[in-house]
């Protein structure tokens, strides 16, 4: 009976008899050792994975905490911006009321032709005017991405009045002064979403703002600039969705549409009187065409040379 479970192996060294139960025992032993090794390796791998999982959970908690802090901070900033914007609108309304009281608003009864029919300027007087009032492109014309007026803010996603225009420009595009003036502010503006900002004060109550600039600003507060002087470079600072220049023109704190001023030149000198009637052009041109005023302006320029 035992012979049926015996295997005989014959070779040059003779014959060997191996019983089947011995083979089974060895196989079972090796298999058991393999299973034990597999279990030990699996336990070691699971312990490593559990450690990695714990580390990922900690990182997840940190990220969730930072996300909550950033969300809370963003909400606070939005509330501050809304409050500042509301304050600004209230101030603008007060200024408008003051303008009406002191008669700075142009009467709508008289036509623009009637108001300007007796006022003519020589070419030299026009050029002097162009040095004092913002005009022309402050960067190369690559197009306009957002116009003046009501719109939905691209970052805050709410309807608000856009007090300037957005000019398309890659980062680092040079910006020039649109008229002679003095630098009121040049640096990072903390109280708005403008980022790096330059404000220029010009003659006759005009002011220009340049927002979302790079930090490489070429002018300082209090400096005098001439039309065409380099003042800074375009960037993407503040509340901005991409590189561009936010450009504003204001007259006694009232925002004007900069678009007519960009193309204003001697060739279309009178067009702006029709397009922008919130400026008291009649009284301004009378002063600009006054020979005594021209003499005083010339003497003033000599005094600053």
- Residue-level pLDDT at 163: 93
Q: Which two tokens stand for residue 164?
A: 């300037």
Which parts of the chain sit beneath pLDDT 50?
Answer: 1-3, 102-104, 106-110, 112, 115-118, 295, 298-299, 301-305
Could you report the per-residue pLDDT of 35-53, keeping only the tens digit for each?
A: 888 888 888 888 888 888 8
Could you report the per-residue pLDDT of 64-100, keeping only the tens digit for each?
A: 888 888 888 888 888 888 787 777 766 766 665 555 5
- Residue-level pLDDT at 110: 46
Domain ranges of the chain: 2-65, 106-304
Among 3.40.718.10, 2.70.70.10, 3.10.20.600, 3.30.1320.10, what is the CATH number of 106-304?
2.70.70.10
Q: How far is CA 207 from CA 95, 135, 182, 282, in A?
A: 15, 12, 10, 19
The torsion angles phi and psi of 103, rounded to 5 degrees, stand at: 80, 30
Q: Which two tokens stand for residue 132?
A: 């004092």
- Residue-level pLDDT at 280: 87
């Amino acid at each position: 009976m035992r012979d049926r479970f015996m295997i005989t192996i014959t070779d040059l060294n003779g014959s060997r008899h191996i019983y089947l139960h011995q083979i089974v025992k060895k196989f079972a032993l090796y298999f058991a050792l393999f299973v034990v090794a597999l279990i030990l390796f699996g336990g070691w791998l699971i312990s490593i994975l559990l450690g990695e999982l714990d580390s990922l959970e900690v990182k997840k908690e940190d990220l969730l905490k930072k996300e909550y802090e950033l969300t809370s901070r963003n909400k606070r900033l939005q509330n501050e911006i809304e409050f500042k914007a509301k304050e600004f609108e209230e101030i603008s309304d007060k200024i408008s009321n003051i303008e009406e009281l002191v008669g700075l608003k142009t009467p709508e009864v008289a036509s623009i032709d009637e108001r300007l029919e007796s006022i003519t300027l020589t070419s030299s007087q026009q050029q002097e005017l162009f040095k004092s009032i913002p005009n022309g492109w402050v960067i190369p014309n690559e197009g306009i991405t957002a116009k003046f007026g009501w719109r939905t803010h691209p970052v805050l996603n709410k309807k608000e009045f856009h007090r300037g225009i957005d000019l398309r420009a890659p980062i680092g595009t040079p910006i020039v002064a649109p008229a002679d003036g003095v630098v009121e502010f040049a640096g990072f503006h903390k109280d708005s979403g403008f980022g790096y900002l330059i404000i220029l004060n010009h003659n006759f109550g005009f002011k220009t703002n340049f927002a979302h600039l790079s930090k490489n600003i070429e002018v300082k507060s209090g400096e005098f600039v001439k039309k065409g002087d380099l003042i800074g470079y375009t960037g993407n600072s503040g509340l901005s969705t991409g590189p561009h220049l936010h450009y504003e023109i204001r007259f006694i704190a009232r925002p004007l549409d900069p678009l007519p001023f960009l193309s204003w030149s001697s060739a279309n000198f009178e067009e702006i009187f029709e397009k922008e009637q919130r400026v008291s052009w009649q009284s301004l041109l009378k002063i600009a065409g006054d020979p005594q005023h021209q003499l005083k302006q010339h003497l003033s320029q000599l005094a600053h040379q």
